[in-house]
């Protein structure tokens, strides 16, 4: 059972100062060792990746509504898990920027705490907005941008797109937005469209993964009708085979190609049981949400580079 102090009496921790390096989990001059082992040392690239991590604030005993970015234990968990297994997929395409932020506690998605979800989210988004503005003003220098996120991060990233990119001048700089782990409706944005080709740019992709043949309890509310991209072929293909899959990044730090095949249904990517060591432990598991990115880690890495090359080619032609 989750607990919380009354929201009316809640005082969130101080908003981060993004001029302080400690307020960033990752930036080009601050790559954690685990990240370096996967993508190598940071080398300046001609593209930036702004990544917003998912809900990692999970402690059932914690009565706060939003995280404190000075929580060392939580920050270590963020770096050891979501930076290592998620943000790393984008490290080949661009310079990684990952701000710490006062994210909402997981309980805001569960009744009766969900009554305050929007108020808690406003605190989280104020940080992401502030971090992104600082990134634009101090780091980006007009380079093309890839946005990437997962779960709560994708909700916030979608809000960021609406405010800064959608039908705005900055839209021209958007290579692609990867927004898995959340329900994004096809008509959520005015001008930013879902991408249906592997080399298409200027739009977004999104998906939610579940075990083949199973439906989440909250399928109707949280999944049905949401944008469902194919995270292997990146087109309108409904089914893929093992041979199509480029690689899953597993907890043993190895990439397993040809280990996942999927079927697309309304709002879900149905995955067959992955071909990985100790796969029998996954037989009873139906919810693949936590693995939305690392199931398709190599597919994403390759695709991000492909889309960047496509963006550069298009803009080189336009600028001639």
For 117-145, the pLDDT digits (tens) are 999 999 999 999 999 999 999 999 999 99
Spell out the per-residue pLDDT of the chain, length 320, in tens.
888 899 999 999 999 999 999 999 999 999 999 999 999 887 889 999 999 999 999 999 999 999 999 999 999 999 999 999 999 999 999 999 999 999 999 999 999 999 999 999 999 999 999 999 999 999 999 999 999 999 999 999 999 999 999 999 999 999 999 999 999 999 999 999 999 999 999 999 999 999 999 999 999 999 999 999 999 999 999 999 999 999 999 999 999 999 999 999 999 999 999 999 887 667 668 999 999 999 999 999 999 999 999 999 999 765 54
- Looking at residue 317, what is its pLDDT? 62
HEC profile for the chain? CCCCCCHHHCCCCCCCCCCCHHHEEEECCECCHHHHHHHCCCCCCCCEEEEECCCCCCCCCCCCCECCCCCHHHHHHHHHHHHHHCHHHHCCCCEEEEECCCCECHHHHCCCHHHHHHHHHHHHHHHHHHHHHHHHHHHHCCCCEEEEECCHHHHHHHHHHHHHCCCCHHHHHEEEEECCCCCCCCCCCCCCCECCCCCCCCEEECCCEEECCCCCCCHHHHCCCCCCCCCCCCCCCCECCHHHCCCEECCCCCEECCCCCEEEECCEEEECCCCCCCHHHHCCCCECHHHCCHHHHHHHHHHHHHHHHHHHHHHHHHHC
- Looking at residue 285, what is its pLDDT? 84
- Looking at residue 320, what is its pLDDT? 43
- Looking at residue 280, what is its pLDDT? 65
The whole-model pTM stands at: 0.96
For 31-87, the pLDDT digits (tens) are 999 999 999 887 889 999 999 999 999 999 999 999 999 999 999 999 999 999 999
- Looking at residue 1, what is its pLDDT? 83
């Amino acid at each position: 059972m989750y607990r919380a102090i009354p929201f009316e009496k809640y005082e969130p921790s101080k908003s981060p100062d993004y001029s302080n390096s400690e307020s960033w989990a990752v930036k080009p001059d601050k790559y954690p060792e685990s990240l370096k082992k996967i993508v190598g040392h940071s080398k300046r690239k001609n593209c930036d990746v702004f990544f917003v991590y998912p809900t990692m604030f999970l402690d059932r005993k914690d009565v706060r509504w939003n995280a404190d970015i000075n929580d060392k234990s939580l920050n270590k968990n963020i770096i050891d898990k979501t930076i290592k297994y998620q943000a790393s997929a984008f490290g080949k395409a661009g310079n990684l920027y990952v701000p710490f932020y006062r994210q909402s506690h997981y309980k805001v998605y569960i009744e009766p705490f969900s009554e305050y979800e929007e108020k808690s989210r406003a605190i989280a988004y104020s940080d992401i907005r502030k971090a992104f503005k600082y990134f634009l003003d101090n780091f980006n220098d007009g380079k093309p941008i890839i946005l990437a996120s997962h779960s709560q991060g994708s909700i916030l990233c979608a809000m960021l797109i609406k405010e800064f990119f959608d039908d705005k001048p900055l839209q021209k700089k958007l290579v692609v937005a990867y927004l898995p782990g959340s329900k994004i409706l096809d008509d959520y944005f005015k001008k930013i469209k879902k991408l249906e080709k592997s080399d298409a740019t200027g739009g977004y992709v999104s998906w939610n993964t579940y075990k083949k043949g199973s439906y989440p309890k909250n399928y109707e509310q949280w999944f049905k009708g949401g944008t469902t991209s194919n995270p292997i072929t990146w087109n309108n293909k409904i089914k893929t085979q093992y041979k199509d899959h480029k690689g899953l990044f597993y907890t043993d730090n190895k990439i397993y190609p040809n280990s996942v095949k999927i079927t697309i249904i309304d709002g879900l990517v149905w995955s067959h049981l992955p071909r990985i060591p100790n796969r029998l432990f996954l037989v009873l598991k139906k919810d693949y949400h936590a693995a939305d990115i690392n199931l398709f880690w190599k597919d994403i890495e390759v695709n991000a580079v492909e889309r960047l090359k496509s963006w550069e080619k298009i803009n080189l032609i336009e600028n001639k």
